[in-house]
């Protein structure tokens, strides 16, 4: 049985907030509440209802540990151990990139592109027994976020999710295990980009989607420490130009896509012109740039035209 602290739960939130303010954390009050909720298992309503009750000794110790990590600069998502992406609550740790809002836009654009090709959109059906009508691929899946978003929205799709990192695939596997019916149509494969896929998929994919590394080595110094100091560098940095991974994906995609297939690839805003040129040179008949929620160029949508 856990001992009681002299602090109330409200007092613990207030103390945590004060420590995060001193550490220079923006929205310290919000983050403090989230940390207390995560550490104690109380949801927001439960925490409010028990605000004046004594905090447990175990809860205080755990909250202090998490606040120490956040105050030291560790990203909140890693401190909490999970983060939301669409309708999914994903395991997140230093083996994978933190899911970001711009990639949620990539997921939505990718789903729309497949629906435009005639695919059915809707919730998976329990009685379908995992039957699929076409295949799509998420290259460099990380947490598995994009793959799960595709599987949840496209009930007839078999989704291949690849990553060169076995550590990242371990995280994706854990996320699939906790995601119910959509995960039953996702296949994980280890390898670099298309090399991870079975050769029998060549020329049959309706969609290829990817959030690859696209930061150039010379840009690393300008990144905030909360990114470059914590997130996996191979998932961030592509090479000297920042285009190495994108070039590999765009260049090989046409031979893996079906005649009317589409590629959706995330990029840095300043790369959009070059990436469009790469896609046209690779043989895509239609190439457009789509923007994220902040209005910045964020991805290309490149279509084969038969």
User: What is the chain's pLDDT, residue by residue, as a tens digit (306 residues)?
Assistant: 456 667 888 999 999 999 999 999 999 999 999 999 988 888 888 888 888 888 888 889 999 999 999 999 999 999 999 999 988 999 999 999 999 999 999 999 999 999 999 999 987 776 665 678 999 999 999 999 999 999 999 999 999 999 999 999 999 999 999 888 888 999 999 999 999 999 999 999 999 999 999 999 999 999 998 898 999 999 999 999 999 999 999 999 999 999 999 999 999 999 999 999 999 999 999 999 999 999 999 999 999 986
- Would you state the structure tokens that stand for residue 54, as one six-digit string? 């004594």
The predicted pLDDT at position 1 comes to 42
The predicted pLDDT at position 48 comes to 84
Residues of the chain with CATH 3.40.50.150: 94-303
The predicted pLDDT at position 105 comes to 95
Does the domain at 94-303 match CATH 2.40.160.20? Answer given as no
Q: Are 273 and 242 in contact (CB under 8 A)?
A: no
Cα separation, 53 vs 32, whole angstroms? 17
Output the CA angle 105-111-117, nearest 5 degrees.
Answer: 140
The predicted pLDDT at position 127 comes to 63
The reported pTM is 0.91
- Would you state the structure tokens that stand for residue 34, as one six-digit string? 């989230």
Name the helix (H) or strand (E) containing 30: helix 28-40
User: Measured in whole angstroms, how far is the alpha carbon of residue 2 from the centre of its chain?
Assistant: 36
The 3-state DSSP class for residue 56 equals strand
Cα separation, 139 vs 132, whole angstroms? 19
Cα separation, 84 vs 68, whole angstroms? 23
- Find, among 202, 172, 206, the residue nearest to 187 by Cα: 172
- Residue whose pair of structure tokens reads 């012109």 in the numeric block: 273
């Amino acid at each position: 049985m856990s001992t009681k602290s002299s602090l109330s739960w409200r007092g613990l939130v207030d103390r945590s907030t004060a420590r995060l303010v001193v550490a220079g954390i923006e929205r310290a009050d919000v983050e403090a509440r989230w940390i207390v909720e995560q550490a104690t298992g109380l949801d927001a309503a439960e925490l409010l209802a028990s605000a004046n009750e004594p905090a447990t000794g175990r809860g205080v110790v755990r909250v202090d540990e998490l606040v120490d990590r956040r105050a030291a600069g560790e990203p909140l998502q890693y401190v909490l151990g999970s983060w939301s992406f669409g309708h999914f609550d994903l395991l997140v740790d230093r083996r994978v990139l933190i899911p970001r809002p711009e990639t949620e836009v990539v997921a939505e654009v990718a789903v729309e592109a497949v629906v435009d090709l005639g695919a059915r959109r809707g919730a998976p059906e329990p009685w379908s027994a995992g039957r699929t009508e076409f295949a799509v691929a998420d290259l460099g899946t990380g947490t598995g976020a994009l793959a799960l978003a595709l599987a949840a929205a496209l009930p007839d799709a078999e989704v291949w999710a690849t990553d060169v990192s076995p550590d990242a695939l371990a995280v994706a596997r854990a996320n699939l295990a906790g995601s119910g019916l959509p995960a039953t149509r996702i296949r994980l494969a280890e390898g670099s980009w298309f090399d991870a896929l079975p050769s029998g998929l060549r020329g049959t994919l309706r969609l290829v989607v990817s959030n690859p590394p696209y930061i150039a080595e010379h840009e690393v110094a300008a990144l905030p420490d909360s990114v470059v100091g914590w997130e996996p560098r191979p998932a961030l940095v592509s090479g000297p130009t920042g285009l190495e991974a994108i070039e590999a994906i765009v260049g090989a995609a046409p031979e893996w896509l079906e005649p009317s297939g589409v590629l959706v690839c995330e990029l840095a805003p300043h790369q959009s012109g070059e990436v469009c040129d790469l896609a046209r040179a690779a043989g895509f008949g239609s190439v457009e740039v789509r923007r994220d929620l902040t209005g910045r160029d964020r991805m290309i949508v490149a279509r084969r035209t038969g």
